[in-house]
Amino acid sequence: MATVRLLLLTMLMTLLTQVTRLPAGKYNSTLSPGDSAPAWKDLPGVDGEKHSLSDFESSKAIVVVFTCNSCPYAVDVEDRLLALHKKYSQKGVALVAINVNKVEADLLPGMKKRSRDKAFQFPYLFDETQKIAKDFGAKRTPEFFVLDQDRKVVYMGAVDDSPEGKKITKRYVEAALEATLEGNKVEIAETIPVGCAVRFERARRSRRVRKK
């Protein structure tokens, strides 16, 4: 009996060890810095074209931002997205915005209007399956991920330390890009994303038919 208990205890400790070693960052339950970035394929964009991660093969780095039209935090970050794209597109960095919300204001027609109104010069993509956000572990809008040339995640979290963009003292995404482009290690690889919750659809429970 003692041998059986010892065996069960050993199995339990092994299982707990494996669970604690599952890949997850400090603030992301799915990815850790250094993980390969999940790939998206043929997501429709506001330009009427379909876009995949492989389209950006020549980019030295990629900034992926999960955003939307309806969240005030996402709206507040739009001018910073434009400035980020203007500053780094000439350095071989691609900026890709992805929306997965399925409320009326966030659907593709609204995305197209928002893109025209703000004159977005970067891809703004829609994933109605919401799979890519889940693959990245994104739970907020906006939430940023910086990918290096090998498409490893080198940073994830907030764009900077000011959700409203009024008193910025630390520009996390820019710092990650500068380090990555220079071939250096990113000092701050993860921060807490601040924004609205991604509006994931809830799985509907099927009703059981009672037998008469």
> Exposed (0-12), middle (13-18) or buried (19+): which is 118, by Cβ within 10 Å?
middle
Only one residue has tokens 């043929």, namely: 42
- Do β-strands 43-44 and 50-51 pair in parallel, antiparallel, or remain unpaired? antiparallel
Cis before 33 (ω within 30): no
- Say if residues 157 and 143 touch (Cβ distance below 8 Å): yes
Q: Are 94 and 122 in contact (CB under 8 A)?
A: yes
Residue 111: count of CB within 10 angstroms of its CB: 24
- All structural domains of the chain with their residue ranges: 59-201
Q: What sign does the dihedral 103-37-113-194 (CA atoms) show?
A: positive
Burial of residue 132, with CB atoms counted within 10 A of its CB: 0-12 exposed, 13-18 middle, 19 or more buried: buried
CATH 2.70.180.20 fits 59-201, yes or no: no
Q: CA 32 to CA 193: how far, in whole Å?
A: 14
User: What tokens does 181 get?
Assistant: 């482009």
Q: What is the pTM of this model?
A: 0.85
What are the pLDDT tens digits along the chain (212 aa)? 444 444 433 443 443 334 333 445 799 999 999 999 999 999 999 999 999 999 999 999 999 999 999 999 999 999 999 999 999 999 999 999 999 999 999 999 999 999 999 999 999 999 999 999 999 999 999 999 999 999 999 999 999 999 999 999 999 999 999 999 999 999 999 999 999 999 999 866 655 655 55
